[in-house]
Structure 1
Amino acid sequence: MSDQRQKVALITGASSGIGYAASIEFAKRGYKVFAAARRLEPMEPLKEYGVIPFKLDVSDLDSVKNAKKFIIDQTGDKYLDILYNNAGQSCTFAALDVSDEYFKQCFEVNVYGPMRLVRELGPLVINAKGAIGFTGSVSGIVPFPLSCTYSATKAAIHQYAATLRIEMLGFDVKVLNFITGGVKTDIEDKRSLPSTSIYNIPEMEYTLRERQQMAARNNPMPAAEYARRVVNDFEGARLGGTLNYYRGKMATFLGTVLWWCPRFFLEYILLRKFKMDVVFAALKVKYAKQKLD
């Protein structure tokens, strides 16, 4: 790869939080940065850093194909050094409550979107002998209550990244998976408990609120600091090197705990932290003399 060619980066989910901060960090380091999201207006200030914002819906194949064409047209070449799959969709619902619409939307953005981008833009990354990154989550390894759908999407993308890494080795393309802890972003799911929920009791209000605001309540890492570390990881990545990078508040701790903590003890801790034990006691009383439909 010629030293004269300006490196090119594409960051999805760049309208706020991690993607927004990463776009600035890559731009400061001399990359030609394409910042992509469904909403253009929040990305307008990125232009001050030389970033090129454009509209992209990762759940739409035509939009992804248009993104590839746009990058080629803007650069005049077929290189992409960094493909950072960061766009994410939260989903804080119990398994018995989440609708088809909600879990399909979550998988479309968190799993199928990155898969589309890798398939369609992968050849450009291969041309550059570049790197592909994914924003994973500690929710993909820790069974947080009310996180069945979101956790499933992150566990899926973790394994996708692990397998993609093997498939890309022959092309000299690096693959990085960022198992992300608390970061100051606006990904919080603010949707309320469905009125028809089996958990629709007063005791559940605390659990839902605590789960939705878990990251915000635990002194999350600033997005700019997270982005600085992630860009360092991209630039320091090597073939056969690290796959999973633990970044964000509590990420390393939680990843380490899972190595030695028995599952029954982990479940006990989670039940107490989110007061699910209180919820279950109330549910047993409520449904003691009736059958569920």
Structure 2
Amino acid sequence: MGMATLSLDVTNIDSISEARMEVQKLTKGNLDILVNNAGRNCTLPALDVNIDDARACFETNFFSIILTTQAFTPFLIASHGLILNIGSIAAIMPYVFGSVYNASKAALHSFSNTLRLELEPYDVRVLVVVTGGVQSNIARTKRVLPEGSLYVDIEEHFTRRVNHSQVGAMPADVYARGVVKEALKSPWRQKKWLWRGNKSGLVWFLSNFLGGWVFDLVVPRMFGLDRLRRIVRARTLGLGMGK
């Protein structure tokens, strides 16, 4: 393949330390680009999320980025390199039944935006890829509503939401080519935020020019929350009439 590969568990500080030592040996303490790409989903209604699952999502999607950034930034300073963090449009829009995942990506966006300013004196750049749908295995984890969930009346909509990111998703190689092209640009030409993947351009336009009210109008209809509202109101009305 023409490259050296290493095993790395980004949630394990010992694994990160071992990878750091190996990179130091291979590159003599220089690193041009650090890509933080690891991620996991947590697709459940906010009221149904298991707290351990939520913590695991944040460990992978957010806290691991802090650990790897702290470990490898000295090498990036030596080469005036780039930190490339894979964000998500879920940090921008209220992608229902994904509150924990959305929050982990929003934390990553905010962390990256601040980190960018803190590393500017050392000529280390930070690029966030605000990612839309990309073909991957992120939806492979089977998710079902727990017994007693407030959303059982629209369970079929929830099931569709679990795999929604893969509908019309951009092929991974097409996505990667665009990211690599941006990452290899001269520093003065490089963006701070790259929107890439299915529906990313649409979310960019809506969030920048129309505002959040569009998401509040459209997203509930996409995943059955408008239907649930009608069901709840009808049920409440029926109880009231029965008094």
Structure 2 counterparts to residues 8-47 of structure 1, below 5 A: none
Q: Report the residue type matching 2:61 in the other structure.
A: N
**2:193 alignment partner, one of 235, 238, 244:** 244
Counterpart code for 1:270: V
Residue 204 of structure 1 aligns with which residue? 155
1:228 to 177, 182, 196: 177
The residue type equivalent to 1:230 in the other structure is V
Cα deviation, 1:66-89, whole Å, max 9, x if unaligned, reads 1101212233x1011110000001
CA contact (8 A) 2:175 2:197 kept: yes
Contact 1:79 1:128 in 2 (8 A): yes
Structure-2 separation of matches of 1:84 and 1:171: 18
Identify the residue that residue 133 of structure 1 maps to in structure 2: 84
Q: Compute the displacement of 1:239 (Å).
A: 5.1
Task: Name 1:151's counterpart in structure 2.
Answer: 102
Alignment partner of 1:72 out of 5, 8, 24: 24
Report the Cα distance in structure 2 between the residues aligned to 1:262 and 1:119, rounded to whole angstroms: 35
Pair 1:237–1:117, CA change in 2 (3 A): farther
1:216 aligns with 2:169: no
Q: Which residue of 2 aligns with 1:190?
A: 142
Q: Helix, strand or coil: the match of 1:63?
A: helix
Number of aligned residue pairs: 238
Distance 1:254 1:128 in 2: 34
TM-superposed CA distance for 1:275, in Å, is 1.8
CA distance in 2, matches of 1:131, 1:116: 16
Secondary structure at 1:236 match in 2: coil
The 8 Å contact of residues 176 and 244 in structure 1, kept in 2 or not, is answered as: yes
Q: What corresponds to 2:6 in structure 1?
A: 54
Q: Relative to 1, partners in 2 of residues 1:67 and 1:196: Cα closer, same or farther, differing over 3 Å?
A: farther
Identity of aligned residues (%): 31
What is residue 15 of structure 1 aligned with on the other side? none
Please state whether the residue corresponding to 1:245 is helix, strand or coil. Answer: strand
Instruction: Give the drift of 1:167.
Output: 0.8
CA apart distance, 1:196: 3.4
Quote the Cα distance in structure 2 between the aligned partners of 1:130 and 1:277: 47
In structure 2, do the counterparts of structure 1 residues 65 and 264 end up closer, same or farther at CA, with 3 Å as the change threshold?
A: same
- Name the aligned partner's letter for residue 35 of structure 2: Y
Could you list the runs of 5+ residues in structure 1 that have no partner in the other structure? 1-48
Could you say which residue in structure 1 is the equivalent of 2:221?
Answer: 272
Corresponding residue for 1:31? none
Question: What is the rounded CA distance, in whole Å, between the counterparts of 2:219 and 2:135 in structure 1?
Answer: 22
What is the Cα deviation at residue 225 of structure 1? 0.9
Q: How big is the alpha-carbon RMSD for the aligned residues of Structure 1 and Structure 2? A: 1.9
TM-score, scaled relative to structure 1 = 0.76
The one-letter amino acid of 2:165's match is: A
How far off its partner does 1:237 sit? Answer: 4.7
1:86 aligns with 2:20: no
* Residue of structure 1 in register with 2:72 after alignment: 121
What TM-score do the two structures reach when normalised by structure 2? 0.91
CA distance, structure 1, for counterparts of residue 31 and residue 235 of structure 2:
57
Matches of 2:104 and 2:236, distance apart in 1: 32
Q: Is the 1:246–1:252 contact (alpha carbons within 8 Å) kept by the matching residues of 2?
A: yes
Letter in 2 for 1:215: S
CA 1:122–1:286: 2 relative to 1, 3 Å? farther
Structure 1 residues 262, 227: CA separation in 2 closer, same or farther (over 3 Å shift)? closer
Is 1:259 the equivalent of 2:197? no
SS of 2:164's partner is: coil
**1:174/1:261 CA distance change after superposition, 3 Å:** same
